[in-house]
Amino acid sequence: MAHQVVNELKVLASNGRSRTVIATIHQPSSQTFADFDQLCLLASGRTAYHGAASKAMTYFGHLGYTCNEYTNPADFFMTLLYHAEDTRCGDDVEKGTASACVEKICDEFDQNNDADDDTSPKDENTSSNGSSTLVFKGKYPTKWYSQIGSLISRSCLVKMRNPKEVKALFFQSSLFALILGALFWDLGNDQKTVRNANGLIFIMLMQTGFQQLSPSLSVFAKGMPLFMREAQHGMYSMPSLFLSRLLVDLPIQLLVPSIFGSILYLMAGFPRITETFFLYLAVVVLYSLVASSAGYFLGCAAPSEQIAQMLVPIAMLIPMMFGGFLIDTGSMPAFIGWFKYFSFFRYAYDAVNIAIWGNWGKIECPDATKCAFNTGEDVLRYLSIDSANLTSSLFVLVGFIICFRALAFISLVRRSCSHTTDES
């Protein structure tokens, strides 16, 4: 099977498309080894040979290391470089030091690397720089934008290979919206509408929050061991990783709540006013970004994905309790009521109510003396919501997004700095 794979790789490399195939292989057979064009042998972090595979035996023969004609060349190289016998290294190498033998072989490659005669171990395809250490101008081998581009490409490829996850998210969102829309179908415009609409707004925000927060937990938590190992080895920086994941997730985080909110708005029969609709939708999207940002923070800060999942109810239910639906914000006890200022649910709840009831107009009332609400403004006063606070609520939601994502990034960087690998 290994031989068949190598044959396919050789076809890919020689079908006229100028494609280079780079591969590592463990203990190939002599037949498989013969299919390789170029060979690079590494030992102790240095280059022992780099050139045509067919000339490798001649090269080591010039150095005095002869392979038996019945021995697999790959086995000979493995034995020579990784289980070196001291007697092969000459009298100038200390006896009993196999690593010294490898160092001598690598030194020979460096010294003979620039020779031009045909009898030298030099191969025409060997780099003139030998095994010199590669020096980068910066800390990382590529620029930050190249890192972000590669990470975005990898993340998109992972999503494309697992489309069921994205499809399930859209299906869940659309199904729940249709069920809620059917339940709250055409709320009308009477006194009962107030109670029903407020209930719909609450459950819509609750569903949006859980729907966005839970998937965001696994964005970093699930791949944390991989991210830490790659960052520890200098493959990319934490800012590049963090920004790339945010950019990949952003389209879904915008599209899912937009579809969910639009279905509910139209089925519930909220005011058919363009300004009201887009303001409502903007609040829903901002709130969903706050929830996803909180998920990033929990996923990066929690020791494991399981613990992060356990923190989801705390992250969502506590802000909901202080959101103003279950209890009027003005009725909260002073010793605990201050927490309402840290409830992102409250600012979203206030902004959605202002968007809907602010442009509602008159509410039908057969008997004006027995009606609690005559206009949308009456509803806002009943909920202790000041319509003048719309702009500040939107800015606070943006502040929560920035704050949660900044905390998530700080947590990610701290974990990368304290992470230790097997090598370290």
Identify the residue whose tokens are 């690397």: 113
- Residue 284 above 60 pLDDT? yes
Whole-number pLDDT of residue 43: 84
Yes or no: say if 185 and 268 are a contact pair by the CB < 8 Å rule: yes
Whole-number pLDDT of residue 360: 87
- Residue 134 above 60 pLDDT? no
Q: What mean pLDDT do residues 336-364 have?
A: 89
290 vs 418, residue with greater confidence: 290
Instruction: Output the DSSP codes for 360-401.
Output: --B---SSGGG-S-SBHHHHHHHTT--GGGHHHHHHHHHHHH
What is the Rg, in whole angstroms, of the alpha carbon atoms belonging to the chain?
Answer: 33
- Residue 402 above 90 pLDDT? yes
Q: What mean pLDDT do residues 286-302 have?
A: 92
Whole-number pLDDT of residue 121: 47
Whole-number pLDDT of residue 264: 92
Whole-number pLDDT of residue 17: 67
What's the rounded Cα separation, in Å, for the pair 123 and 135?
A: 24
Q: What mean pLDDT do residues 100-116 have?
A: 75
Q: What mean pLDDT do residues 397-402 have?
A: 95
47 vs 234, residue with greater confidence: 47
67 vs 278, residue with greater confidence: 278
What's the rounded Cα separation, in Å, for the pair 416 and 232?
A: 7
Question: How sure is the predictor about 136, in pLDDT bands with cuts at 50, 70 and 90?
Answer: low
Whole-number pLDDT of residue 282: 94
Question: How sure is the predictor about 295, in pLDDT bands with cuts at 50, 70 and 90?
Answer: very high
- Residue 124 above 70 pLDDT? no
What's the rounded Cα separation, in Å, for the pair 191 and 321?
A: 25
Whole-number pLDDT of residue 185: 92
265 vs 102, residue with greater confidence: 265
Q: What mean pLDDT do residues 73-78 have?
A: 88
The percent of residues in the chain predicted with pLDDT above 70, rounded, is 86
Helices (H), 222-273: 224-232, 238-268
Question: How sure is the predictor about 337, in pLDDT bands with cuts at 50, 70 and 90?
Answer: confident
Amino acid, res. 264: L
- pLDDT, averaged across the chain: 82
Q: What mean pLDDT do residues 245-257 have?
A: 91
How many C-beta atoms lie closer than 10 Å to residue 1's C-beta? Answer: 5
Question: What pTM was estimated for this model as a whole?
Answer: 0.68
